[in-house]
Structure 1
């Protein structure tokens, strides 16, 4: 009897690791293409990982990433996408430019984007409510109203300013909409705008030199994720040249005088949630494109002090965050 019991127990001990192995969750693979500068860390990583965690996905446990970077150059995307498709990733995540390139390469692998470009007008999805196909995502663009508020901030913080500079990257899909909105707001306030372009990190310093030579009193930053990836570098150059930055909220932490718009990190977190929902079986075609819901006004008193700018108490009272 004892011998049988021992053998039975031994058999259970031997079989247990086999059962345990079959119960391990399948490792899903996400292809992540970052359009930001290769020299900079993926600053949205923590946000989309938070969203994935909320859906029960944890790196190293049941999800892994294949990372690639395009360094702000859209012409690199086809080869990067082809590599991810060949590796048979479960999902592809990136900006609108990444999603467009991926959509051309595959109709079966789900694609999730986070972008400031209008996904309907560029042909990425059929509509916001019913994306169709294998693509959906999150829109970060706050629109003309947010741009107008930035120009209001120029008027409120820097009343002597008559000319505003704008940094743009013509390689990005949202550049035309950006420029149109800024021109409209600038004209309303009777100001002038000087637009300079930068398509790579090395272009930033010459662009700043042009803006200084044009005697601009404030600097707007094109609303795209490439510039967001370089915001610490942009902020340092602007501070060195005494140029106050007014931009999207993520710039507030890196030295912008003031910022307003949709929360970039909240939008990226929502993208992480969408990735988790799709990995659990939902279809991109059934997930509507999410619109911005969280807006932030950030004022940086440290930057104001360094630039010698007086911030009205009324503006501080309205701010969602004050950096000191």
Structure 2
């Protein structure tokens, strides 16, 4: 063999080894969110921040990230899930219950980290909140329902009838509704339900509660949060106070919310993804919950909806919008 041919062969061998090495060490994370609204966007950004802090960002040539939103459509969520499974990333992060259900239905092998899921067991993502021995783990945004009811009582001591607008097709919303059915009567209150299967139904559902309720409570239902302005319009016009589980809804016109820090929960989920990228098995990782709640109040919304904010709540609030 000539000297030139030998050099060429060595170059090809070296290039092949380099490519094999890059393929060995290249890692990727795919993120799907059911819909884009402030809370879920904050969670997505928290995931990206935690990954970046661990060196998994755009400056890492051996790492790639992709994000897609299902725009509130279950069929689109299923399509994205199938695409991601075909792409074979190292981890799929699924934000919100319908997105997580679509991804978990699509794969039993690729590690999945769910986020912003209120009832992961009821949604059949994991058999329990302990280590699942499956390909799934994640972070739940479940809120202590007693604390939510206590907030309603502090804000509106005379309230007896609590309206809830919700999507009956969203497992996390149904889980919260069932808790309210059980717990509100214990607090001397009753539940009045109004279903909104689609985002465009939210305003009509809110109107159906006028004259029947003393306040409207909204959970982290993605349909409702996506169309919160329609709810605020009805609340303002009818002097019905809006109390939310999502603090970003206070910025959009709710009077109060005691909710999770979604950016911090995103960082929790991101850190779980990092652990998987570094070799941990998701089935050995128990599900986690949000670690911090914060109270937001909106003085202007309170005036619009005929509420006087108690000084005790003002003193407790992390944020008071004026």
Query: TM over 0.5: same fold?
Result: yes
SS of the residue corresponding to residue 129 of structure 1 reads coil
Cα distance, 1:284 vs structure 2: 0.8
Task: Show the counterpart of 1:90.
Answer: 90
CA–CA separation in structure 2 for the residues paired with 1:282 and 1:122: 24
Choose from 211, 219, 222 the match for 1:222: 219
RMSD over aligned Cα atoms: 3.3
Contact 2:97 2:172 in 1 (8 A): no
1:163-215 deviations in Å (ceiling 9; x for gaps): 22101111111233211211223212322322111232211221122122x44
Cα distance, 1:67 vs structure 2: 3.0
The TM-score with structure 1 as length reference comes to 0.80
Unaligned runs of 5+ in 2: 1-17
Contact 2:123 2:172 in 1 (8 A): no
CA–CA separation in structure 2 for the residues paired with 1:309 and 1:202: 27
Choose from 221, 244, 253 the match for 1:247: 244
Task: Show the counterpart of 2:44.
Answer: 45
Contact 2:34 2:77 in 1 (8 A): no
Task: Show the counterpart of 1:188.
Answer: 186
CA–CA separation in structure 2 for the residues paired with 1:92 and 1:236: 37
Contact 1:244 1:256 in 2 (8 A): yes
CA–CA separation in structure 2 for the residues paired with 1:252 and 1:282: 38
Contact 1:126 1:132 in 2 (8 A): no
- Figure out how many residues of one structure are paired with residues of the other and give that number: 304
Task: Show the counterpart of 1:68.
Answer: 68
CA–CA separation in structure 2 for the residues paired with 1:45 and 1:188: 37
CA–CA separation in structure 2 for the residues paired with 1:84 and 1:106: 10
Task: Show the counterpart of 1:55.
Answer: 54
Cα distance, 1:75 vs structure 2: 4.0
Unaligned runs of 5+ in 1: 1-18
Cα distance, 1:268 vs structure 2: 2.0
Cα distance, 1:323 vs structure 2: 2.4
CA–CA separation in structure 1 for the residues paired with 2:38 and 2:310: 37
CA–CA separation in structure 2 for the residues paired with 1:297 and 1:304: 15
1:26-84 deviations in Å (ceiling 9; x for gaps): 65333222212699994533222222223222246454443333333334433221121
Task: Show the counterpart of 2:139.
Answer: 138
CA–CA separation in structure 2 for the residues paired with 1:218 and 1:120: 30
Cα distance, 1:267 vs structure 2: 1.5
1:253-286 deviations in Å (ceiling 9; x for gaps): 3222111133333222211221222223222112
1:287-316 deviations in Å (ceiling 9; x for gaps): 221123211222222322333421121222
Contact 2:200 2:227 in 1 (8 A): no
Task: Show the counterpart of 2:262.
Answer: 264
Cα distance, 1:234 vs structure 2: 4.0
Cα distance, 1:226 vs structure 2: 4.5
Are 1:116 and 2:113 an aligned pair?
A: no
CA–CA separation in structure 1 for the residues paired with 2:268 and 2:312: 32
Task: Show the counterpart of 1:127.
Answer: 128
The TM-score with structure 2 as length reference comes to 0.81
